Amino acid sequence: MPAEFLSDEQRVAYGTFAEMPSLSDLEKFFFLDSFDRNVIAQSRADSHRLGVAVQIGTVRYKGLFLEDPLAVPWPAARGQPVMGPGILGTPANTGHRIRRGGRMVNMSDESPVVTLSDGLVTLRPWSRDDVRFMAEASADPAIRRYNGGHDRLGHPTPPLSTTDAEGVIDQIGLNWRAFAATGTPSGVAFAILDTRSGELVGCCGVDDWSNEDVAQFGYWIAPDARGRGCATRAAILLTRWLFDMGAARVFLTIVAGNEASVAVARRAGFVYEGTMRAHSVWQGKRYDVMWFAALPLEWAMRQSDEETTTRDKASPLPATGGAF
């Protein structure tokens, strides 16, 4: 309506975000479908794509372009899946393109080179050079308890030999190539490194990606690297990548009593949703399994709050980390 018919309060609020949009408003007005993303993809830089995405949502929510395009609440921008420079590394060879979550992604004809980093922790694909580390880690009692294989009565399988570890790493490589062909990252896994030292510290990977775009992942940290926040940072990096790939929901399961892993899930922004009673077995005894999950916009808003708190505290790495 014409501005002269507005009250002073309405005139001040007109064309601005007078209040923070609710989560339902963000989901309704800032959701980007495949047509939107194809338009956004025409822009060259991540910053340009983010600007176009935010403007599309702003016009839908406010009915006009803002005089100051930067005057947008952070959650509206932070939740856009076009963000995340450096998430996908440069493929070894220029290959075909796949569609994931309405977005076209360049993939290699062989294994896509995907490296994720926050400057302190780096995730990269496993290589044959990592065989000894994987074999030694598989013998750790906690990793065997919570991450290793076992039979129907909960008796653990033996630790990996170097030959076994080599076979596991080869299978992960096959899963990466399947991902390049199909766009579904089920079974892909990353080695976790301390960026500053280059030290291998653990593993995180995608256990499953359903037909409904629901992703499940897990993680473990070697004994000597626990307590440094590596698991939390790796979980955040992997979750952000899964949402960038189009996941509608990301979840993980934790055996009740594994308090260190529960702490990692909570710090990484996951919400406890319930307990599956007697869902797991170990050494002949049944154990409950806890369920934690995250949704894209909700998780982005939580991470925005966490990042603000971290900046305020000026802490480069969490003081304590999970065991896994």
Contact 287, 278 (CB under 8 A): yes
Is residue 323, in this structure, part of any structural domain at all?
no
Is residue 40, in this structure, part of any structural domain at all?
yes
Given 78, 108, 135, which residue is the final one in a domain? 78
Residue in 57, 67, 68, 115 with CA at minimum distance from that of residue 88: 115
Q: Which residues of 87-98 are buried (b: 16+ CB within 10 A; e: fewer)?
A: bbeebeeeeeeb
pLDDT in tens, the chain (324 residues): 455 566 666 655 666 766 667 766 766 677 666 677 767 777 666 656 777 777 777 777 777 777 676 667 655 555 444 333 332 333 333 343 343 443 334 444 455 679 999 999 999 999 999 999 999 999 999 999 999 888 999 999 999 999 999 999 999 999 999 998 888 999 999 999 999 999 999 999 999 999 999 999 999 999 999 999 999 999 999 999 999 999 999 999 999 999 999 999 999 999 999 999 999 999 999 999 999 999 998 998 877 666 555 444 433 333 333 344
Please tell me whether residues 122 and 260 are part of one structural domain: yes
Is residue 320, in this structure, part of any structural domain at all?
no
Please tell me whether residues 28 and 111 are part of one structural domain: no
Q: Which residues pair with 275 in a beta bridge?
A: 290
Please tell me whether residues 223 and 291 are part of one structural domain: yes
Contact 133, 166 (CB under 8 A): no
Is residue 163, in this structure, part of any structural domain at all?
yes
Please tell me whether residues 151 and 259 are part of one structural domain: yes
* Measured CA distances, 227 to 99, 195, 224, 281, 320 (Å): 38, 16, 9, 27, 5
Q: For residue 115, what are the domain limits?
A: 97-313
CB contact set of 59 (below 8 Å; sequence gap of 6+): 65
Please tell me whether residues 114 and 199 are part of one structural domain: yes
Please tell me whether residues 187 and 292 are part of one structural domain: yes
| Rounded CA separation 69/3 (Å) | 20
Q: What angle do CA 81, 87, 88 make, to 5 degrees?
A: 110
Given 78, 111, 135, which residue is the final one in a domain? 78
Please tell me whether residues 230 and 297 are part of one structural domain: yes
Q: What angle do CA 295, 270, 246 make, to 5 degrees?
A: 30
Is residue 322, in this structure, part of any structural domain at all?
no
Please tell me whether residues 188 and 218 are part of one structural domain: yes
Is residue 264, in this structure, part of any structural domain at all?
yes
What local confidence, expressed as pLDDT, does residue 58 receive? Answer: 76
Please tell me whether residues 288 and 163 are part of one structural domain: yes
Q: Is the dihedral of CA 148, 149, 155, 161 positive or negative?
A: negative
CB contact set of 311 (below 8 Å; sequence gap of 6+): none
**Domain containing residue 182: CATH number:** 3.40.630.30
Please tell me whether residues 143 and 71 are part of one structural domain: no
The number of domains in the chain is 2
- Listed in sequence order, the DSSP H helices in the chain are 8-13, 23-29, 34-40, 46-62, 74-78, 131-137, 141-146, 162-182, 230-244, 259-267, 296-313
Rg of the chain on CA atoms, in Å: 22
Given 14, 43, 78, which residue is the final one in a domain? 78
Contact 162, 168 (CB under 8 A): no
Please tell me whether residues 156 and 302 are part of one structural domain: yes
Is residue 83, in this structure, part of any structural domain at all?
no
The span from the first CA to the last CA of the chain, in angstroms, equals 57
* Measured CA distances, 298 to 79, 225, 290, 293 (Å): 8, 30, 20, 11
Please tell me whether residues 195 and 230 are part of one structural domain: yes
* Measured CA distances, 312 to 161, 237, 295, 300, 306 (Å): 46, 21, 26, 18, 10
What does the block give as tokens for 42?
Answer: 């025409």
Is residue 88, in this structure, part of any structural domain at all?
no
